[in-house]
Structures are given as structure tokens and as C-alpha cells.
Structure 1
Amino acid sequence: MIEVSKRVPVNEPGQPVLTRSDVWKGLVMKADNALPFVPAMTHCKVLNRESDMVFVREIEFRGERCRERITLVPEQRVEFVRLDGSVLGTILNLIEEDESGLGLRFSFKLKLAGVEDGSPEEIEYGKVVEKDYLKAVDATLAAIRKMKSARDSLIRRYYDVVDSMDLDAFKAMHSANARVTFANFPTVQGADRIAEAIGQFWSTIRGMKHEFVNRWDHPQETILEAAVHYTRKDGSVVTLPCVSILRPEGDQVGELRIFIDVAPVYAEQKIAS
């Protein structure tokens, strides 16, 4: 039996800081399709899903095809159980957190068919597999950091444009088939219609500024809690709570749902003479 357990620190100096949620997102992506993360894997396909958290995939690792049952325990661990092939056993990816910070541990207990426990062949295979999985962990964290940086950049650019109320730049931030739902107004689709609808709202105010309070990142979208400071036509400022759900599409926004009550913006305004 080959048994290995290694812990890799998630956050290194000079790198984007990752949260547990960020790491989990990357593990889910690797479970669905490991090819971008495991250099020695040349095939990966989900065969069936028993539930949202359990599925079977077919992989080809170092020239051999086999099936694995994947079990997801949200934001804690991913378990891979080999169902067939010449190597059977269990592989775990675990998110750990202690006084040293966030860590990603991979461990495996594998049995190489037809090979005696403790034999030179088993020991050599264990070294190769350990090296492969260390590379996979490093590649996974690198990919997560890249995605985090890209999403951070998109959100920052998007709200800089929103707060500037530059309608042309705002329109360009959305994908061709983007969808935006603002408050209780009907959902609009397409960059042109989005710009038209939001432009009508902007025409009723003098300015705005988003102050972010909380953020939650998920594999496909980010939830943003903000205090939005609206400058009304009479020059007064009203601050409103807002929650937005933003779904990226490449380097643009693919969908945005904004939950806010804008009625106070229009209440008791002074009439300019």
C-alpha cells in the first residue's frame, strides 16, 4: 500500500490572497475536468452524476483508463475513489486551516495490482505519483490565483465605470447577450438594452459611489454587499444598502442581478429654482 500525505500552504508572499471559498472553487473545477490541472492526465470525462455532490468520471492517467467516484464535501474536501484499473484506493484533497494559515492537503492510499507491498517497484511508483500530485496541487493553486486576479480586475473596472456613469464604457463592459436585473424593473438582455435602461436611471441622479461591505466568491458568480451613496439632483446624498450577484463571462459581465430599493433616492428632494 502506497500512503502519502502532503500539505501545501495556499497563500504565499506576493501572491493574490485566496480564501477557503476560492480554493474550493478550484477543487470543484478540477473534479469536473482535471486536464488543466494534472499534467499526467490525458482524458477526463464525467460519466454520470448520482447527485450534486457525487459523480463518476472516467480518466486516463499515465496511459491507463479507469473510473473514479467523486464525493464533494463543500469547502472541506474532495474524495476520489478508484473503481477499477491497476491502481485502486482513495485520494483526498482537503482544505485545512490552522494557526499557520490556509493549506491544501493531498493524501492517497493506493494499491498497485500485482505488486508486493514495500517492493522497489511500489516505492518507485509512489514517488512518481507523489510528484504528479504535487504538480497538480501547484497547478490548481496557480489557476485559482489567476481566476481570482481576473475576477478582481473585472469587478474593480466594472464599478469604476459604473461610478463614473460613463455610458459608452459601461455598455462595453457587458457581453453581447448579457442580462441585467435592476431592483424591481424588468430584466433586460443585450448590451444595447442594458445601457439604455441603466442610462435612463442615471439620468435621474447626479452621481453615485459604491462602498463595498462584503464579498462572497462562488465558482460561477460573486455576491457583493455594498452601501451605495447616491447624489440626487438637488445635491443631497442618500445611502442605500445593496446586494448584487455578478456572473463573469470572460473579461466582461454576463449577468448582473441588483437587489435594492431606490425609492428613497426620489423622496423629499428640493426643487431647483
Structure 2
Amino acid sequence: MTSALTAAVFHAVDTLDSKAFAGLFAHDGKTTFGNGPVLEGREAVEAGTVGFFGMLSGMHHEIVHEWVVGNDTIVELVVTYTRKDGREVSIPVVSIWTVGDSGLIDSYRVFFDVAPVFA
């Protein structure tokens, strides 16, 4: 069964709602997508996702496995990206995050090779 936070994270992302996604972060939360720079603070997280989402027409996250251990969550996924030309590309992805005392995400990391999406 998928946890409520995991469902909220991927609903926000699948609807390309950068504001809702960033709202799941602590004010000083940070995220890293692949080998990109660390985005620190809710505003930076929102701006970074706006930029990434702008390169796509859509995406869908299929959860393969989810592990919640204490404040840490690890999610294995297959993500289908819809490119601007309408072509769909699916790739394996792992997302890992840590929730702080506020119940919001303090640190979020996404591990993927996004090159096939834009090839």
C-alpha cells in the first residue's frame, strides 16, 4: 500500500503541479534530480520543477516498490515521460526522501538517467 505522502508527491508531479510539489517541502528543504545541482529552499524546488516540467507534455509514475523506514522513504518506479513531440519514453527511477519533524520533506533525491527521454 502506498503511503499518503508518496501518493501526494507523485500526484503533484504527474499533474505537473510545481507549486503543490514544492509545498510538500520544508521551507529549507532541498532536492537533487540526477546529477543536477542541489536546489535549496522551497522557492528553488518550485523553480527547478517548473523548468523540468516545461520540457515535457506529461509524465506518469508507476510505483514498483515503496519502503518507509522511520523518516526515510525509498520508492522504485517506472516513469513514463511524454515528450513535446508526443513520443512516450519509460525509464526506471528511484526517489528517496527524508521527512523532518514538521512532517514535510527535508531532503529529496531522484536517481535516473533521463538521457533516453530527450534522445
Instruction: Give TM-score scaled by structure 1 length.
Output: 0.41
Query: Residues 1-273 of structure 1 correspond to what in structure 2 (within 5 A)?
Result: 152-249=3-100, 250-267=102-119
Query: Which 4+ stretches in 1 moved above 6 angstroms?
Result: none
- 1:170 is displaced (CA, Å) by 1.8
Q: Distance in 2 between matches of 1:152 and 1:213?
A: 13
- 1:196 is displaced (CA, Å) by 0.7
Deviating more after overlay: 187-196 vs 164-173: 164-173
What is the count of residue pairs matched by the alignment?
118
Alpha-carbon contact 1:154-1:251 (below 8 Å) kept: no
SS at match of 1:206: strand
SS at match of 1:186: coil
Q: Distance in 1 between matches of 2:74 and 2:8?
A: 16
Q: Deviations along 1:69-124, whole A, 9 cap, x unmatched?
A: xxxxxxxxxxxxxxxxxxxxxxxxxxxxxxxxxxxxxxxxxxxxxxxxxxxxxxxx
Q: Distance in 2 between matches of 1:187 and 1:158?
A: 18
SS at match of 1:200: helix
- 1:171 is displaced (CA, Å) by 2.0
Counterpart for residue 81 of structure 1: none
Matched to 1:232, the amino acid is R
Alpha-carbon contact 1:243-1:258 (below 8 Å) kept: yes
Matched to 2:32, the amino acid is T
Q: CA RMSD in A?
A: 1.5
Instruction: Give TM-score scaled by structure 2 length.
Output: 0.92
Q: Deviations along 1:2-57, whole A, 9 cap, x unmatched?
A: xxxxxxxxxxxxxxx8xxxxxxxxxxxxxxxxxxxxxxxxxxxxxxxxxxxxxxxx
Q: Distance in 2 between matches of 1:218 and 1:154?
A: 13
Higher RCO (CA-CA < 8 Å; seq separation 6+):
2
Q: Distance in 2 between matches of 1:167 and 1:223?
A: 21
Q: Distance in 2 between matches of 1:169 and 1:243?
A: 20
Matched to 1:241, the amino acid is P
- 1:248 is displaced (CA, Å) by 1.7
Q: Deviations along 1:200-239, whole A, 9 cap, x unmatched?
A: 1111011001001112221220111000000000001000
Q: Structure 2, unaligned stretches of length 5 or more?
A: none
SS at match of 1:258: strand
Q: Distance in 1 between matches of 2:77 and 2:64?
A: 5
Q: Distance in 2 between matches of 1:227 and 1:243?
A: 9
